[in-house]
Amino acid sequence: MTATKTAPATDGVRNVLVTGASRGLGLGIARKLSEAGYQVIAVARSKSKAVTEAMAEARRGNHGHLHFAPFDLGNIGELPDLVRNLRQEFGPLYGLVNNAAIGHDGALAMMHNARIEELVRLNTLSPIVLTKYVVRSMMSQGVGRIVNVASIIGFTGYSGLSAYAATKASMIGFTRSLAREVGRVGINVNAVAPGFLETEMTHGLAGEQRQRVIRRSALRRLAEVEDVASAVEYLLGDNARNISGTVITVDAGATA
């Protein structure tokens, strides 16, 4: 019987990189992980007021840490330097949460090629290449956790979101295949697939449109950012050590 490997850390702190963490779901995940005691490195193009406030809260909370690293994830060629610099500054990376994405909508027949290319670049190519360089360092440590943020649209489809759905479906296939590639060296790879969430965006939907979305769910409500963040925290934690290659759906039963 081999001994169970524990995560490498600096001063006992597990470093987790969260992309697209300046607002919305990404920021909610970063907050949740910081509160759980992780040292979170939030990556986004620019530091929002909400990120600044979250960093101050983390310092006052005396639990985990929250740092910010400005970076445009569309710069694929600079991703190796990003990973190298973060490892030099913070130490080994225990976790990676690929959350950053954009969501252009519109009928495929009318969508400009540049928009399609941007979707694929930021939603698929960027997280795959980023994972490539992060997973190399995890393999040298013999431990690590990767969580990809997909979407229920990746397996249900949605009119007007075909290109976006393609990028999210690709992340599910990526998750399952990578889990088989790196599981033998102690790395877990999973995904979460949120449905419509209780956010400012859904509050902006017309009343009847929002109610139709709610009625489609088994629980007759929308899931919340906190629910998805809790699923990510679980997948990064020790209780999920034997879970890999799976997708956790967080949609209040919309796909039940």
Tell me whether strands 93-98 and 144-149 are parallel, antiparallel or unpaired.
parallel
34 contacts: CB under 8 Å, gap ≥ 6: 40, 54, 58, 61, 63, 64, 65, 66
Q: Give the helix/strand (H/E) hosting 200.
A: helix 200-203
Whole-number Å distance between alpha carbons of 64 and 55: 10
For the record, the structure tokens of 96 come out as 């990676």
Catalytic (active-site) positions: 164
Burial label for 209, CB within 10 Å (0-12, 13-18, 19+), is exposed
Whole-number Å distance between alpha carbons of 42 and 31: 10
End-to-end CA distance of the chain: 40
DSSP conformational letter for 10: B
Helix (H, G, I), strand (E, B) or coil at 93: strand
